[in-house]
Structure 1
Amino acid sequence: MKKKINKLLTKKQQEIYSEIGKKDWFILILHGAKRSGKTQLNNDLFLRELIRVRKIADMEKVEKPQYILAGFSKSTIYQNVLIELSSKYGIDFKFDKLGNFTLCGVYVVQVGHGKVDGLGRIRGMTAYGAYVNEASLANEQVFDEIRSRCSGRGARILCDTNPDNPEHWLKKEYIDNPTDRILSYKFTIFDNTFLDKRYLQSTIETTPAGMFTERNIYGNWVSGYGMVYKDFDSTIHFINDLRFKNFKRYIAGVDWGYGHYGAIVVFGITENNEYIMIDEVAETQKEIDWWANEAKKLDEKYPRLVFYCDSARVEHIDRFINDGLDARLASKKVIEGIEQVAILYKTCRLFIFEPIAKRFKEEIYSYVWKDNTSTDQVIKEYDDVMDAMRYAIYTDMKDSGGKIKTFRGDFI
């Protein structure tokens, strides 16, 4: 029996599984590094909780006990929870017209907690428990409503989350205030002893320095501080010769500006998936006619150039399109985009052609994290070329599958 358990659960997971079974708790929070095993454990605990709820309901003669399964969206619930359970245990989920399902005799209501409109699905219900996946991404008002809805006899709430800003409400109000009813356990990536050693080593080597390493490897709730791109090294990432670079395609990032700098940056992408910034236009006090003319010059210079544009000025994007340019909306997720650019610096897949990088040089060392805030933010100064770079790289990587080939040949 012990050997079988050792194949299913890590030592850390077994310890938590055993320990919480001896306590009468209300909220359990598993938090820490990515790929550390916290969600896999919560998925198993979710099944155990449903079996427990069914027994309580039988004692109370409740025919259809309800349980809340919450995630940022229904698609993330499906990806993080349902597919994993189906693959591991062969569970075939049968959804009703509301997108809910019955499992172990318990009616499970799916709720998206990322937006306030998720409240409508649970208002008025009496739940015998909840499983909140990616809890730090939850709207606090929705989380509070989930907690208040868990009023059935013996109700419990399972939570798992990656670390976030140390001022986040989940940490300050729950993790930092443990009681007999609020339990929390921290995970590092090293707790997941099932991880392939090669994958683990590659992950460590390719995770950007600073905040991303502290959170994604060691599971610490830390804020960003100082320079955003800590792995940038002018002796490595500046290049001065493009003669031996063969570009397979070209992309551009566009950050609109007038009182502050506007910027267009162009990247050539090589056969080895290196991103090389080969052109930069950055100016203030310029109207859209001027920007459209500069964009057309770049379009003539670089074949099949795609412009990923800041969505703040949709009318400017329309102008580009009307002028025959391939202009598209950029993905503006800040932290995800910064992390992707930082990975490219870390893995030596992002280079800057120094002769053209006038505004880049003014921004790179002054692009810093904002202090004393409850959310991860960069100071909105010296960020125009940085934003344009992020728009181009992050959106292009999403459109092309989002995989970076590292210098060791691994994919992340």
Structure 2
Amino acid sequence: MTTTTAKAAVLSVKQQDSILDSTRRLNIWEGSIRSGKTIASILRWLLYVRTAPLGPLAIIGKTKDTVARNVLDVIADIAPGAISYSRGAPTCRILGRLVHVIGANDAKAEKVLRGLTLAGVYVDEITVLPEAFFTQLLGRLSVPGAKLFGTTNPDGPSHWFRKKYLLRAAELDFVSFHFVLADNPSLTDEYKRQVSSEFTGLWFKRYIQGLWVAAEGAIYDMLDERKHCAKAPPKDLWRAAWITVDFGTSNPTHAGLLVLTDQQVEGDRIVAPDRLHMVAEWEHDGRAKGQLTTAQQSARLRDWADPLLADTGLTPVTVLDPSAAPLRAQMRADGWPGLRGADNRVDVGLQATASLFAGGRLAVDNEACPVLWDQLCGYVWDDTALERGEEKPVKENDHGPDMTRYGVMAARQVWRAWLPELAASAA
């Protein structure tokens, strides 16, 4: 933990109590980010490893990389001599015990799990694991006296883990400990305010307040024309550029030019920080204006983009959505530089975009991008999907928000320094 964010590294009473009281078969720390739940749970896991019954132990997360980042690296920071691990390896040694390292997204993970009879397991980010995998994991935890220790951030109120485990704690050999950001004594008040400002709406309620709440209403409920709209800054302030495209044939194709800009200063006052700025858009609706071939779309996109980037010296990265294979092939044939498939992780992309807006690090020139701005303001959660326990945006007038999300995710190397709490999940 860095000295810029940390006070004295002490455990709170709540952390100490959770360590002492986590004696059940299933022991869960849940709540907001940076709330101290991970440190408490890992310290309890280390105590368990010392005394665990004979048999295999395991640490499980979404991927081996997330396990290394969220758990193994933390153990190495807490007690460097307690762990021996090579990144990417299938096992490590903790306090002399062999521990399997398993990523639930790995195609081989289920086969590995089926071959184990576990004496103990630590599970990172439980809600991102498939329910079937977690159910099978409990069946593997069959050595007498075996225990599970795990952490999770809140999800929706209908999430399988909440319904089948958290709400049934009285019926199960199960205990949970709820933490919020304010519970962490090792963070300064300034840092807590900073982290809180990075989240808004749904994500603020879950990741800062630690609530299991449903998505509802506007996705970008923080949007304010006075705060988030601005004319494109002069081109001499542009430092990088992304052309981002949501492709359609009969549906609209919607493209945007996203640029990284230096901070803007007037006199001795900073009027805008360095940020990402959507400075132009191009849209063609095949239903309203007639369909274009991919060759025509590629040519028109070039006619739109080249003048915008003239005299900037920038070579843009061009990001296309996963359905754009025909356009991608055409653009490659036409010599477009820097073609890249979009990262289409909707949950991470929505959260990153919302956090950038909330932190003043993403702006839109609404005069140059009127269609995009209208669509962003009208972008809402799908109530029908929510009834099924799914969180999805309404698939209507969403091409602008989609292409914005693609651009934001393509620029994550830029904003991960602005939003360190999101950097890991967006990696």
* 2:318 equivalent in structure 1: 307
C-alpha separation in 2, matches of 1:405 and 1:151: 41
Aligned mate of 2:14, from 9, 12, 31: 12
* 1:62 equivalent in structure 2: none
Work out whether 1:278 is the aligned partner of 2:290: no
Is the 1:126–1:149 Cα contact (8 Å) retained in structure 2?
Answer: yes
Work out whether 1:72 is the aligned partner of 2:62: yes
Runs of 4+ that moved beyond 4 A: 94-98, 240-245
Say which is worse superposed, 151-160 or 40-49, in terms of deviation. 40-49
Residue 381 and residue 52 in structure 1: after superposition, are their counterparts in 2 closer, same or farther (change >3 A)? same
* SS across alignment from 1:356: coil
C-alpha separation in 1, matches of 2:173 and 2:392: 33
Once the two structures are TM-superposed, the CA of residue 176 in structure 1 deviates from its matched residue by 1.2
C-alpha separation in 2, matches of 1:149 and 1:104: 23
Alignment of 1:308-347 (within 5 A): 308-326=319-337, 327-347=339-359
Residue 165 and residue 114 in structure 1: after superposition, are their counterparts in 2 closer, same or farther (change >3 A)? farther
The residue type equivalent to 1:275 in the other structure is: L
* 2:379 equivalent in structure 1: 367
Residue 345 and residue 104 in structure 1: after superposition, are their counterparts in 2 closer, same or farther (change >3 A)? closer
C-alpha separation in 1, matches of 2:39 and 2:390: 27
Identity over aligned residues, as a percent?
22
Residue 184 and residue 241 in structure 1: after superposition, are their counterparts in 2 closer, same or farther (change >3 A)? closer
C-alpha separation in 2, matches of 1:241 and 1:394: 21
C-alpha separation in 2, matches of 1:288 and 1:19: 62
Work out whether 1:227 is the aligned partner of 2:233: no
C-alpha separation in 1, matches of 2:99 and 2:419: 40
* 1:150 equivalent in structure 2: 141
C-alpha separation in 1, matches of 2:418 and 2:293: 36
* SS across alignment from 1:12: helix
Alignment of 1:5-154 (within 5 A): 7-21=9-23, 25-53=24-52, 56-57=53-54, 65-90=55-80, 91-94=82-85, 99-115=90-106, 117-154=108-145
Once the two structures are TM-superposed, the CA of residue 34 in structure 1 deviates from its matched residue by 0.7
CA-to-aligned-CA distance 1:203-222 (integer Å, 9 cap, x gap): 122322x1011011111111
Once the two structures are TM-superposed, the CA of residue 403 in structure 1 deviates from its matched residue by 2.1
Once the two structures are TM-superposed, the CA of residue 138 in structure 1 deviates from its matched residue by 0.7
The residue type equivalent to 1:43 in the other structure is: I
Residue 260 and residue 344 in structure 1: after superposition, are their counterparts in 2 closer, same or farther (change >3 A)? same
Aligned mate of 1:254, from 219, 223, 245: 245
The residue type equivalent to 2:43 in the other structure is: D
* 1:402 equivalent in structure 2: 416
Once the two structures are TM-superposed, the CA of residue 95 in structure 1 deviates from its matched residue by 5.9
Once the two structures are TM-superposed, the CA of residue 104 in structure 1 deviates from its matched residue by 3.7
Q: CA RMSD in A?
A: 2.4
Once the two structures are TM-superposed, the CA of residue 97 in structure 1 deviates from its matched residue by 10
* SS across alignment from 2:400: helix
Is the 1:128–1:154 Cα contact (8 Å) retained in structure 2?
Answer: yes
Once the two structures are TM-superposed, the CA of residue 375 in structure 1 deviates from its matched residue by 2.9
C-alpha separation in 2, matches of 1:7 and 1:238: 42
CA-to-aligned-CA distance 1:339-398 (integer Å, 9 cap, x gap): 221122112222222222232143123210122242321111111010101101221123
* 1:3 equivalent in structure 2: none
Residue 244 and residue 296 in structure 1: after superposition, are their counterparts in 2 closer, same or farther (change >3 A)? closer
The residue type equivalent to 1:205 in the other structure is: S
The residue type equivalent to 1:81 in the other structure is: V
C-alpha separation in 1, matches of 2:258 and 2:94: 50
Structure 1 gaps, min length 5: 1-5, 58-64, 407-412
Once the two structures are TM-superposed, the CA of residue 125 in structure 1 deviates from its matched residue by 2.1
C-alpha separation in 2, matches of 1:153 and 1:313: 53
* 1:287 equivalent in structure 2: 293
The residue type equivalent to 1:201 in the other structure is: R
* Paired positions, count: 388
Once the two structures are TM-superposed, the CA of residue 117 in structure 1 deviates from its matched residue by 3.4
Is the 1:114–1:137 Cα contact (8 Å) retained in structure 2?
Answer: no
